[in-house]
Structure 1
Amino acid sequence: MGIPQSFCSRGRSRKLPKANIPLDVIWNDDDHMDGHKDFTLNPNAYPRPKLLDFLERIHARGMKYIVIIDPGIGVNSSYGTYQRGLAKDVFIKYEGKPYLAQVWPGAVNFPDFLNPTTVSWWGDEIRRFHELVPVDGLWIDMNEASNFCSGLCTLPEGKQCPTGTGPGWICCLDCKNITNTKWDDPPYKINASGTQVPIGYKTIATSAVHYNGVREYDAHSIYGFSHAVATHKGLQALEGKRPFILSRSTFVGSGHYTAHWTGDNQGTWNDIKYSIYTMLNFGIFGVPMVGSDICGFYPQPTEELCNRWIELGAFYPFSRDHANYYSPRQELYQWETVATSARNALGMRYKLLPYLYTLTYEAHTTGAPIARPLFFSFPNIPDLYGLSTQFLLGESLMVSPVLDQGRTNVSAVFPPGTWYSLFDPSQAIISKETQTFILDAPLHVINVHLYQNTILPMQRGGMISKEARMTPFTLLVTFPAGATNANAKGRLFLDDDELPEMELGNGQSTYVEFSASASEQLVKVWSDVKESKFALEKGWVIEKISVLGLSGVGGSFAIEVEGDVDILDASKVQLVETEHKFMGGMETKSVMVDVGGLNIPIGKKFTMSWKMGIS
């Protein structure tokens, strides 16, 4: 759930922490491979002893290492993966022979993941590679499947293919179009490439044959899905841990097996806008762990755009800075202004990790997206149906980014109710109906607001998620300003994040439901805990509870913790009032009350109350 960076070297992995920018994952594109061949290691650029030493050190810090692999297996008589695949007959066929295509290694055959033998072979290749390089996940690309050629191809005679010079994506096989079957030239034409071309253009010929005689025509859309399923099975078999897979191609059901990034986007202001509704669409499609390449894959973004993109991208469910090998360097520390924006936005992301992880659990168990359109929480407001410049994380955390060049403010829509600034909860907006507000948004600022009736669990944050998730908790409780009776709710799921399944009942997870109520006489915050053992063993505690929308502190402060009479030292409890400042008008006084100096175990039920009215 952290912010990965798409570069692998000792120097670059050190520069982000030195710039106080969080870093969790080192990603490697195919420059780690020997001749672009899957499951190989370049002996010159990536000598194994030095790579293993590097990985030992980053693993000791809790960081992860993920490399790219493509489905195309290079046709090469000295390549073990290919020879083993050929011996097991795992490739898609055309007229009884492995279908020939071209991608980065040159001539390739494509594995047929509908074939159970292929799935076993693929898992064995993952095992062999993991013994060579202890990767923590796999990034599966080019699996639509992408082909630099079209039609029926053969190896050219008397010439090298590819030549090793010029763009690697130029077809150099000898190919001819296939148009003599109803699968290659169907009566119903699609225009997927944007030009009038055959249906099998730049992919596997649609008359090619999979396992049990299934035509590519009928299986094309699930190729990436079947690739993800096989990869998931192979990774899980290694150590019984929860696999992490990132796939470019997806289908219905892919979200159970893989995360998704939106492909080779561009570093433009249009593309930063596209990223939001693409993310929202994929959440609705059932792929909740989704995001776009922050700052764009190519060409190099402007400094201003990269500032705005990291502010937004820090709140993608899947958050990664990644660029084209041929583009100028764009790590977040390259510009000091971008580094500042990254520290601000990613600093908040790492405080929100328990909330984001709970949303991931809910996505797994209910299918609800992590990132949602506003109409998910406000379905009776038609004006929100087409809104794609803002979004919600979960039910009530709204992100309103700057998406246009040269802007130092943002026009944001607020459904009716009270919305508190996440970066400064003393600042709030009261929207009496669905209203648009102009919010200040200087270069390093992104506006994020928390809706009323919510209890948001947060932690202190950190430079790496392993450290951040062990810090004490704060609960942010929001009541609607001006209400006479109000309630708030929140949830928290905790587990050993490497277990194969996110579930209760395994002895290594805890689920907490938080509740709060307020009236003119009494404010009360309490919890109900399911399967407390895991949280108690980890030692997680609540150090502060902040309650928003109140008139002040009265008397009779009390707290009860299950099984503990003297757990709270009343002399250390600190109650601090901060008066809210409202945009949208508020006639009566309303304050935020911070209750600090607490030490409440997350794994124990508690009840805290005091006399206080809502303004």
Structure 2
Amino acid sequence: MILKLFLLRLLCLAAALCLSTQSSASEQRIYRDHKMSEDSLTVQTSEGEVTLTPVGPSALSVHYRRKGLKQLPSFALTPNPAIRPKATLEQQGDKLAYRTGSLTAVIHKSPFRIEYLRGEEQILSEESGFFSTETLRGFRFALSPEEKLLGGGERVLGMDRRGQRLPLYNRAHYGYTTESNQMYFSLPAVLSSNKYILLFDNSATGTLDLGANEEDVLQFEAVAGRTAYIVVAGETYPQLLENYVSTTGKQPLPPRWALGNFASRFGYHSEAEVRATVDKFAEEDFPLDALVLDLYWFGPDIKGHMGNLAWDKEAFPEPEKMMADLKARGINTILVTEPFVLSTSERWQEAVAQNALAKNLAGEPKRFDFYFGNTGLIDVFSEEGRNWFWNIYDGLLEQGVSGWWGDLGEPEVHPADTVHAIGMADEVHNAYGHAWAQLLHQRQTAKYPERRPFIMMRAGFAGSQRYGMIPWTGDVAREWGGLQPQVELALSMGLLGFGYTHSDLGGFAGGEKFDRELYIRWLQYGVFQPVYRPHAQEHIASEPVFHDRRTRDILREYVKLRYRLLPYNYTLAFENSQTGMPLMRPLFFENETDLSLLDYKDAYLWGKDFLVAPVVEADVDEVAVKLPGGTWFDYWTDEQHSGDQALVEVDLKTIPVLVRAGAIISTIDEIHSSRDYSSKNLTLDYYAHETAANSERYVYEDDGATAQAFEKGKYEKLYFSAQRKQQGLTFNFKREGEGYTGMPESRAVTLKIHNWQQAPAQLAINGESLPIFNSEKEFNRASRGAWYHKRNQMLRVKFDWHQDLLDLAFKNP
């Protein structure tokens, strides 16, 4: 009996010791003291210190520190914020209220707990808050009953991820279709229907449990890493996103050619094949801005050459001349690079000698086998690794390379016993692609400050957008199931700062034979997504120019439409660089009261004025599209739709594309490359409707290449506004900015007024009458004037606009 009592006491003592090491129950943590500084608030507790730092508009970083617990630097926070927000502190009895912007952290002293208010409304609260065991560390938050949680990075699970347990480990998912819990680009962050973003600033291997194990608890777990999180609040979803990117960094404006058409496949084997492909685009009258070279540029085979990172001169005998010739045709060369250096590659000994590779536990270069061969991994966290890698990139830039494609950057294979300069593989795995993009962006902009980098990568971390990272959704299956999740993936990433997320158009992996309908539908959707890049395994051509005449004829018009829309699309890119608004936007941004729209992923807003619903099934002749409110016009037919839903008829030549009533859509004439871009001839399509009495839009213009053109004043903004009045319609035109090299001195404007019921009785510019023609023939011959197309209910007006203010007035009969 005595022995049994003794053993029972030992068990109780062991349980108590176990609980003390976990140290996370809120009743065990109490407030001791606090200290307010100009930049932060530090609270001493019974278990260590907690520092709250304002890091953006209505944003706080909360860092729990305990003695002996290793910390890593923040990867998520922008290192040099434009403005350092201030905060105030108020004592409220047994609580502290720490306020920045509209966000208040209410610190309960005993038991210690932090809750967050937007104004007076609670939006988030720690449950037991921080926890740490010998093998796990993380945080627990309480969830409200009806709360929806979006984000978490690339997943195919539906927009609302509540109830899911999400692995936080960037990992390739080859040939995915309609379901994936773990993919190339995980993000330890969620956007809540309560209008907050919660980001865990920890790059280690972990899990994000969104009410899966306990329905009212959000739990973040990681095997190591920084014990910090960031809370961002906003009054609206767009404001919330803007506050978030002000905290984690804004995506710089890419070069304009990034919005053009790409030739890409796995892959072009030789210079001769490159030149023949480019010639085929020209022969078939397809505009082209970039050509992407996959791994054959540095070796003749898939395996055995990764890490050479130098031209295979057998296949590419004159790469500098080839790239110069392409550039003369307005085509930019993009090279794939990977972070692996095979032990069979030509640079292995050089990489070892220059200490560029991650180590094993014995301090030697870590070697391991994967699909491409026996390899080492460049340590992008070490100065030696960064220097060695950058010197290669710099040499290629000098040869004429225009952009980078960083592949396999999860990294695709990353043994846990790999030692990096700042920690083990599992501590930094999810930040590897982030550090790689940072290296490229910072080094390139330091040496070439006038150039905008192009950096396309498959994996990264929260905040990678500030280094210009353009993600794609990986090796998607070439089937309908691969097309179906692409809107969900792009929208989910865009909610957390990655507004250029796009897919391999047409699908990448597999496919036994060419599916014309699938291919056409995917490339039609591509016109209204951030990067137009068909890419696939080469047994079926990824480029439209190599397919049958009907396919070419349909897609030629879509690619040309993409180029005509460059003023609109480039303005979306500019807005993203200023506010973080993604180019593809969910419908709930438009109607925040309809919570059902948070789950909707069948259609999206392309900027402010287009609503697009890709066709993602075969043999479809009608598509039901949810509407966020208001009146919308069919872009192809001008048919009007309003209410909660539109039934849109389609054939193989069309997908549902709707335009908002009151929109003013800007387009240019046809061009063959964005190098030839000019808004000298500018067309404005105005969609008149009685529900949109006042409209204002603008177009952002610069030279398309100069870094920070807007900040330097080297830009022009063209503003257009329309006011419907009982007696007619008035347009106002104005501009701002100091201008840019190549800016038109004047513009020939064609204004198309859709849904207009009658010809005007009078028409004047700045008080001077314009002629109104009775026939289209007369109108086409004239340089200025108007013509009304009665059957189409469209009024067309032509005039010249110099840099002065301009008023255009219509009077009804």
Instruction: Provide TM-score, normalisation by structure 1.
Output: 0.80
CA shift in 2, pair 1:580/1:267, >3 Å: farther
| Mapped contact 1:247–1:261 kept (Cα < 8 A) | yes
How much does 1:419 deviate?
1.5
Deviations 1:532-576 (A, max 9, x none): 432884346142112234333433422239xxx99x899742322
CA shift in 2, pair 1:470/1:107, >3 Å: farther
How much does 1:488 deviate?
0.8
Instruction: Please say if 1:266 is aligned against 2:477.
Output: yes
| Mapped contact 2:746–2:800 kept (Cα < 8 A) | no
SS of residue in 1 equivalent to 2:766: strand
How much does 1:26 deviate?
0.8
Residue 540 of structure 2: aligned partner: 328
Residue 372 of structure 1: aligned partner: 585
How much does 1:348 deviate?
1.4
| Mapped contact 1:123–1:233 kept (Cα < 8 A) | no
Where structure 1 has 5 or more consecutive residues not aligned to the other structure, the ranges are 148-203, 582-590
Residue 442 of structure 1: aligned partner: 651
Structure 1 counterpart of 2:752, from 546, 555, 558 = 546
Deviations 1:207-256 (A, max 9, x none): 432224x2222211111111111122343345331000110112211222
SS of residue in 2 equivalent to 1:338: helix
SS of residue in 2 equivalent to 1:271: helix
Residue 191 of structure 1: aligned partner: none
Residue 319 of structure 1: aligned partner: 532
| Mapped contact 2:624–2:645 kept (Cα < 8 A) | no
CA shift in 2, pair 1:115/1:45, >3 Å: same
Amino acid at match of 2:786: L
Instruction: Please say if 1:285 is aligned against 2:552.
Output: no
Separation in structure 2 between the aligned mates of residue 136 and residue 104 of structure 1, nearest angstrom: 29
| Mapped contact 2:703–2:741 kept (Cα < 8 A) | no
| Mapped contact 1:21–1:339 kept (Cα < 8 A) | no
How much does 1:377 deviate?
1.7
| Mapped contact 1:509–1:534 kept (Cα < 8 A) | yes
How much does 1:53 deviate?
3.2
Residue 167 of structure 1: aligned partner: none
CA shift in 2, pair 1:471/1:513, >3 Å: closer
CA shift in 2, pair 1:409/1:540, >3 Å: farther
SS of residue in 2 equivalent to 1:320: coil
Structure 2 counterpart of 1:3, from 261, 266, 269 = 261
Residue 606 of structure 2: aligned partner: 393
Separation in structure 2 between the aligned mates of residue 43 and residue 104 of structure 1, nearest angstrom: 25
Q: Which has the larger displacement, 237-246 or 96-105? A: 96-105
Instruction: Please say if 1:67 is aligned against 2:348.
Output: no
| Mapped contact 2:529–2:584 kept (Cα < 8 A) | yes
Residue 55 of structure 1: aligned partner: 323
Residue 152 of structure 1: aligned partner: none
Separation in structure 2 between the aligned mates of residue 533 and residue 361 of structure 1, nearest angstrom: 16
Structure 2 counterpart of 1:106, from 350, 373, 378 = 373
How much does 1:339 deviate?
1.0
Instruction: Please say if 1:361 is aligned against 2:567.
Output: no
CA shift in 2, pair 1:532/1:475, >3 Å: farther
Residue 462 of structure 1: aligned partner: 671
CA shift in 2, pair 1:461/1:103, >3 Å: farther
CA shift in 2, pair 1:558/1:116, >3 Å: farther
Structure 2 counterpart of 1:303, from 502, 516, 520 = 516
How much does 1:607 deviate?
1.8
| Mapped contact 1:114–1:211 kept (Cα < 8 A) | yes
Structure with a larger share of its residues in strand: 2
Structure 1 counterpart of 2:806, from 589, 606, 613 = 606
Separation in structure 1 between the aligned mates of residue 657 and residue 623 of structure 2, nearest angstrom: 12
Q: Which has the larger displacement, 30-39 or 549-558? A: 549-558
Separation in structure 2 between the aligned mates of residue 205 and residue 310 of structure 1, nearest angstrom: 38
Separation in structure 2 between the aligned mates of residue 339 and residue 443 of structure 1, nearest angstrom: 13
Q: How many residues align?
A: 528
CA shift in 2, pair 1:533/1:498, >3 Å: closer
| Mapped contact 1:88–1:117 kept (Cα < 8 A) | yes
Residue 430 of structure 1: aligned partner: 641
Residue 594 of structure 1: aligned partner: 796
SS of residue in 2 equivalent to 1:93: coil
Deviations 1:10-31 (A, max 9, x none): 1111112222222211111001
Separation in structure 2 between the aligned mates of residue 258 and residue 502 of structure 1, nearest angstrom: 19
Amino acid at match of 2:795: V
| Mapped contact 2:634–2:656 kept (Cα < 8 A) | yes
Separation in structure 1 between the aligned mates of residue 434 and residue 382 of structure 2, nearest angstrom: 14
Instruction: Please say if 1:521 is aligned against 2:727.
Output: yes
Deviations 1:363-420 (A, max 9, x none): 1110111011112122233343222121111122111222111123322223332212
Residue 39 of structure 1: aligned partner: 309
How much does 1:105 deviate?
5.3
Instruction: Please say if 1:219 is aligned against 2:441.
Output: no
Paired-residue identity, %: 23
| Mapped contact 2:717–2:737 kept (Cα < 8 A) | yes
CA shift in 2, pair 1:572/1:134, >3 Å: closer
Separation in structure 1 between the aligned mates of residue 584 and residue 431 of structure 2, nearest angstrom: 25
Q: Which has the larger displacement, 467-476 or 535-544? A: 535-544
CA shift in 2, pair 1:511/1:101, >3 Å: farther
| Mapped contact 1:311–1:341 kept (Cα < 8 A) | no
Residue 253 of structure 1: aligned partner: 463
CA shift in 2, pair 1:391/1:142, >3 Å: same
SS of residue in 1 equivalent to 2:307: coil
SS of residue in 1 equivalent to 2:599: coil
Residue 171 of structure 1: aligned partner: none
Q: Which has the larger displacement, 57-66 or 543-552? A: 543-552
Amino acid at match of 1:66: I
The equivalences for 1:154-193 within 5 A come to: none
| Mapped contact 1:508–1:534 kept (Cα < 8 A) | yes
Separation in structure 2 between the aligned mates of residue 540 and residue 269 of structure 1, nearest angstrom: 47
| Mapped contact 1:371–1:393 kept (Cα < 8 A) | yes
CA shift in 2, pair 1:542/1:282, >3 Å: farther
Separation in structure 2 between the aligned mates of residue 522 and residue 516 of structure 1, nearest angstrom: 11
SS of residue in 2 equivalent to 1:527: strand
SS of residue in 1 equivalent to 2:311: coil
CA shift in 2, pair 1:355/1:58, >3 Å: same
Separation in structure 1 between the aligned mates of residue 484 and residue 296 of structure 2, nearest angstrom: 30
Deviations 1:342-372 (A, max 9, x none): 1122121111111111111111110111011
Residue 357 of structure 2: aligned partner: 91
Residue 704 of structure 2: aligned partner: 497
| Mapped contact 1:419–1:430 kept (Cα < 8 A) | yes
Amino acid at match of 2:581: A
Residue 716 of structure 2: aligned partner: 510
Instruction: Provide TM-score, normalisation by structure 2.
Output: 0.62
Residue 621 of structure 2: aligned partner: 408
Instruction: Please say if 1:239 is aligned against 2:448.
Output: yes
Separation in structure 1 between the aligned mates of residue 729 and residue 771 of structure 2, nearest angstrom: 20
Where structure 2 has 5 or more consecutive residues not aligned to the other structure, the ranges are 1-258, 269-273, 300-304, 773-781
Separation in structure 1 between the aligned mates of residue 378 and residue 635 of structure 2, nearest angstrom: 48
| Mapped contact 1:461–1:468 kept (Cα < 8 A) | no
Residue 22 of structure 1: aligned partner: 287
Amino acid at match of 2:324: E
Residue 478 of structure 1: aligned partner: 687
| Mapped contact 1:428–1:580 kept (Cα < 8 A) | no
SS of residue in 2 equivalent to 1:298: coil
| Mapped contact 1:354–1:469 kept (Cα < 8 A) | no
Separation in structure 2 between the aligned mates of residue 400 and residue 120 of structure 1, nearest angstrom: 46
Instruction: Please say if 1:452 is aligned against 2:664.
Output: no
How much does 1:527 deviate?
2.7
Separation in structure 1 between the aligned mates of residue 375 and residue 741 of structure 2, nearest angstrom: 50
CA shift in 2, pair 1:595/1:363, >3 Å: same
Separation in structure 1 between the aligned mates of residue 436 and residue 280 of structure 2, nearest angstrom: 35
